[in-house]
Structure 1
Amino acid sequence: MTTWGLVSTLKAPVEAVLNFAAWHLELGATRLILHFDDPKDPVQALLRDHPRIEVISTDHAYWQRLKGRRPARHQPRQTANATRAYAANTACDWLGHIDVDEFLLPERPVADLLSDLPARCHAARLRPAEALVAPAPSSQVHLKAFSVETPLRHQQSTRIFPTYGRWLNGGMLSHVAGKLFVRKGLPQAELRIHNVLSNDIKNPGQVELSTIPLAHFHAGSWENWLAHFRFRLEQGAYRADLKPAQPDTATLHELLCQIDAGEGEPGLQRFFDEVCCDTPALRARLSHEGLLRVAEMDFDRLRADHFPHHST
């Protein structure tokens, strides 16, 4: 039986962390290796005794042992934690590195899909589909996917998002590179955010694992998106050093800065409404292009099932 686990670096509300853990325990994860970026995060106490969860508090002593100091930016902390977990953990045949707002959506059991991969494959790529923001809470989630083929992706982005599509990579606000499952046993493995290096070989034997889309809850609500906007603009998915989505266009950073400077919050909300909101018109355009995904994600039930004494 193929075994699999996930490693993540987390800093999120209690309910979001429990959602992440419960969803992947339900899918059959052998091990969840959770590094808490805030060593005083109270949710650690709720998870520490679970037999399939490893809770790691990344305090001063942890970083002194691992790196000599705590990296200032969150991306190097994520990669250091993931690399450590890959080297240390022997319980899983495969280890995936994803974030707390990302959820596997396998077409069949994850273990079966991983066991079907050829022996030469040591890196299986999961492509994201971003969750649309529903007008009211619902366990049914609509997501926007994208085409892997780049020219088609750009054409579809422009058709689906008529105002802002040419500044977007397939309509995605965050990454299109996806995340990886990495087979255990690679020598000198260094896990990155979107890749793995082994003896300086990048993603050995990589295969596109299209049967496991990665649901990405990049924008939880207008208020949530706006609260994260400045950080993402400076250090995250909208930062200045990222390339433009399509040739001969401004970067997403430049577009958002222009909207912010010229129109303020009303302009940002118009952008958000077109790109992120779950509307009948957007669902119809996505469906016409074959890019609408639907998932049943009853987090309330899963939290109650897996954490009955801690469900919120």
Structure 2
Amino acid sequence: MASWGTCTLLKNPMDEVLAYVAHHQEMGAERVYLFFDDPTDPAADVLEAAQGVVVTRCDESFWNGLSGKRPFRHTERQRQVLMKTYLGCGLDWLLHIDADEFLLSDLPVDELLDDVPAHLATVKAQPFEAMPGDTPKGDRIYRSVHFRGQITDPALIQQLFGPFAPALHRGMVSHRLGKSFFRTGVPDMVPSVHFAKIGDTTTEGQPFHPALRHLHFHGDDVEHWVATAHYKAKVGGVRFNEPYAKTLLALDEAGLRRFHRRVHSCDPAVVAMLTEKGLMLSIDIDLEAKVARLLQSLPNSSAKAAPTTRKSFFGALLARGRQAA
């Protein structure tokens, strides 16, 4: 069967990093490559002993050795660590997928990749965006269980998003290109964040594989989304979506909260309508149970004596990571 792994440059809370690793390992990833944008991230200490996880702390010496200096733009840092991993991973396929994105497949992934025709160098997963609304988070890592796909009907986009509709191409808050598996060993392949360039052609227009999707928890944490919206509109990937970036930059904090409330709504009527139209995925991928299983597998895991609440549990992990640093 085809071997595969994931690659990501990340700077996420501890529980989200653990969830990313646990989920993709249970999906069958042979290796999970984690490049920590903050080299002092305590999650790196927790996961460096995990089987099948390759931890890299992106400190000054790492960047000096890779490209001479640390690239300013996040997307360029992503591109460089992806290329490094692609060339050296030794797997049949490598999936670039962010730490707040979670792959879903209707088939075992290794079997699906085995059946990809030899002339195809990439396979794309379709994105579905989180609709957390005002759902209480409680002990959950992410609050969302409803995810919206791309919308091609302009009237429906206007109905759902009102004054914010012009900013949302196909109703998407983040990217609409999906994420790609890259077949290794392809001559002249240059993998990028969403698709690949092979010689003078790209795979940007490749259709999504019908059995592959990924859940994007973009906007699941309203406070984080509001706090980073202007920064991402200026220097993040969303700056390339000019209508969306301009809309965000024109809003003050109250306006950003109105935007989030309208665009990320999980109102039951909206969920029902989108479900009827085939534009909705409603699923709980049970990340908390997956994280618990991952932690039980770690040497000297603190999960074996874990506190009962999520807050105290991950607080204990954080303290453990700081002590090891």
Q: Which residue of 1 aligns with 2:147?
A: 143
* Counterpart-to-counterpart distance in 1, 2:261 and 2:214: 22
Moved more, 106-115 or 68-77: 106-115
- Give the structure 2 partner of residue 220 of structure 1: 220
CA contact (8 A) 1:154 1:166 kept: no
Cα distance change of structure 1 residues 194 and 122 upon mapping to structure 2, 3 Å threshold: same
Confirm whether residue 273 of structure 1 aligns to residue 277 of structure 2.
Answer: no
Greater alpha carbon shift after TM alignment, 204-213 vs 81-90: 204-213
C-alpha deviation, 1:175, in angstroms: 0.3
SS class of match (1:185): coil
Q: Contact (CA 8 Å) 2:6, 2:32: kept in 1 or not?
A: yes
Preserved contact between residue 140 and residue 297 of structure 1 (Cα < 8 Å): no
Normalising by structure 1, we get a TM-score of 0.88
Root-mean-square deviation over aligned CA pairs: 2.0
2:245 counterpart letter in structure 1: H
2:275 paired with 1:287: yes
The secondary structure found in structure 1 opposite 2:145 is strand
Counterpart in 2 of 1:165?
165
Corresponding residue number in structure 2 for 1:124: 123
- CA drift at 1:286: 1.4
Counterparts of residues 14-93 of structure 1 (less than 5 Å): 14-90=14-90, 92-93=91-92
* Alignment partners' CA distance in 2, 1:193 and 1:282: 31
Which has the higher mean CA deviation after the structures are superposed, 212-221 or 222-231?
222-231
Q: Could you tell me how far apart the structure 2 residues matched to 1:117 and 1:27 are? A: 18
2: CA distance between counterparts of 1:73 and 1:173? 20
Aligned to 1:246: none
- The equivalent residue for 2:310 is none
Residue 214 to residue 310, structure 1, CA distance change in 2 (3 Å):
farther
- The CA deviation at 1:201 is 3.3
Structure 2: which 5+ residue stretches go unaligned?
304-313, 315-325
Offset at residue 153 of structure 1 (A):
4.5
Shift of 1:227: 1.6
Query: Which residue of structure 2 aligns with residue 97 of structure 1?
Result: 96
Task: For residue 127 of structure 1, give the secondary structure of its aligned residue in structure 2.
Answer: strand
In 1, are the aligned partners of 2:274 and 2:280 still within 8 Å (CA)?
yes
Query: For the residues of structure 2 that align with 1:129 and 1:207, how far apart are their CA atoms?
Result: 15
**In structure 2, distance between residues paired with 1:131 and 1:232:** 18
Percent sequence identity over aligned pairs: 33
Q: Unaligned stretches of 5+ in structure 1?
A: 244-250
State the alpha-carbon separation in 1 of the partners of residues 68 and 254 from structure 2.
45
In structure 1, the partner of 2:294 is: 306
Within 2, Cα distance between the matches of 1:285 and 1:143? 13
1:136 deviates by: 2.0
CA distance in 1, matches of 2:31, 2:99: 15
> Structure 1 residue runs of 4+, over 6 Å off?
none
Shift of 1:18: 0.3
CA separation of 1:108 and 1:30: change in aligned 2, threshold 3 A: same
Give the CA deviation at 1:205.
10
Q: Shift of residue 32 of structure 1?
A: 0.6
- Mapped partners of 1:235, 1:140: distance in 2: 27
TM-score normalised by length of structure 2:
0.85
How many residues in Structure 1 have an aligned counterpart in Structure 2? 295
Q: 2:93 is matched by which residue type in structure 1?
A: W
Task: Determine the structure 1 residue equivalent to 2:319.
Answer: none
Q: Is the 8 A contact 1:198 1:204 kept in 2?
A: no
Matched residue of 2:212: which SS? Answer: coil
Matches within 5 A, 1:193-272: 193-203=193-203, 206-239=206-239, 241-243=240-242, 251-258=243-250, 260=251, 264-272=252-260
The one-letter amino acid of 1:257's match is: L
Aligned match of 1:112: 111
Contact 1:130 1:215 in 2 (8 A): yes
Structure 1 residues 190 and 227, CA, compared in 2 at 3 Å: closer, same or farther?
Answer: same
CA contact (8 A) 1:154 1:169 kept: no
Residue by residue over 1:142-181, the C-alpha shift from the partner in whole angstroms, topping out at 9 and shown as x without a partner, is 100115xxxx354442243334223212221100011110
Q: Deviations over 1:107-156 (max 9, x none)?
A: 12111222221111111111210011151236771100115xxxx35444
Offset at 1:105?
Answer: 1.2
**Structure 1, residues 33-77: CA drift from partner, whole Å, max 9, x if none?**
111111111111111112211111111121111111111111111
